[in-house]
């Protein structure tokens, strides 16, 4: 059975990987070490920055495709994105305040911040599943694969190359070999040679050697 074009799977796999790593690091954080807290806040800011941008990209490219006359999906996603923004800001503030907390209170404050982060990530995972299991089938029912591919290409093309590299560093190792092969086959056919070379170098740096060689052989890189 041929896979339909899916706007969510690849990027959501990357975001799940990033958020899982973030939560693991939050659980191990020594809140009494100011440098460790500062480093974690940088990681948190980077990851949540991707989430903000991802929601904005969806609002720009996907929301207009959800016809409110025939589905409630548009309203549901719009409300969810507003809630996500509020929750992210609350998590950012909790960890910002952690940097100002004295050593004696830091472990307790870190635990509460961790619970806030964990709760948000759990709800965000449910949100991504809703988009994958409800929104994407709706879009596939209304649009052809070439139309969906055009939307995907527009979305990716709107992201500056350095920022796209940030996404790819998360997405490529989170994808299975079939998904990687499809992505790089598309790049080989349509992307400028310099862009393909940059993506190939990035893939080689984030994949295990066996995974990279497998991808090279399948795509002919």
Residue 156: give its domain's CATH number: 1.20.120.520
Answer yes or no: is pLDDT of 5 > 70: yes
pTM (two decimals): 0.93
**Assigned domain for 114 exists:** yes
Torsion angle of C-alpha atoms 201, 213, 171, 12, degrees rounded to 10: 160
102 in the same domain as 31? yes
Q: Does 23 lie in the same domain as 57? A: yes
**pLDDT tens by residue, 85-119:** 999 999 999 999 998 887 789 999 999 999 999 99
Element (H, E) at 131: none
115, 195: one domain: no
Task: Give per-residue pLDDT as tens, 193-209.
Answer: 998 999 999 999 999 99
From residue 124, how far is each of 38, 87, 180, 191 by CA, in Å?
A: 24, 10, 24, 32
Q: Are 199 and 187 in contact (CB under 8 A)?
A: yes
Count of structural domains within the chain = 2
> Residues 149-192: pLDDT tens digits?
999 988 888 999 899 999 999 999 999 999 999 999 988 988 88
Same domain for 56 and 147, yes or no, is yes
Range of the domain at 218: 176-221
Residue 155 lies in a domain: yes
pLDDT for the residue 1: 61
Q: Is residue 169 part of a domain?
A: no
């Amino acid at each position: 059975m041929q896979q339909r074009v899916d706007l969510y799977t690849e990027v959501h796999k990357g975001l799940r990987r990033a958020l899982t790593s973030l939560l693991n690091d939050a659980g191990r954080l020594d809140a009494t070490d100011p440098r460790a807290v500062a480093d974690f806040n940088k990681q948190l800011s980077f990851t949540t920055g991707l989430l903000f941008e991802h929601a904005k990209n969806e609002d720009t490219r996907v929301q207009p495709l959800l016809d409110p006359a025939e589905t409630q999906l548009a309203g549901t996603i719009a409300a969810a994105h507003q809630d996500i923004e509020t929750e992210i800001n609350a998590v950012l503030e909790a960890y910002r305040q952690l940097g100002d907390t004295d050593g004696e209170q830091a472990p307790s404050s870190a635990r509460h911040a961790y619970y806030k982060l964990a709760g948000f990530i759990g709800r965000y995972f449910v949100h991504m599943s809703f988009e994958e299991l409800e929104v994407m089938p709706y879009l596939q029912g209304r649009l052809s694969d070439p139309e969906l591919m055009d939307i995907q290409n527009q979305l990716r093309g709107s992201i500056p190359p350095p920022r796209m590299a940030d996404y790819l560093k998360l997405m490529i190792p989170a994808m299975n070999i079939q998904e990687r092969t499809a992505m790089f086959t598309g790049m080989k056919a349509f992307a400028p040679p310099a862009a393909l070379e940059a993506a190939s170098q990035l893939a080689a740096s984030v994949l295990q050697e066996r995974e990279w060689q497998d991808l090279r052989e399948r795509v002919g890189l």
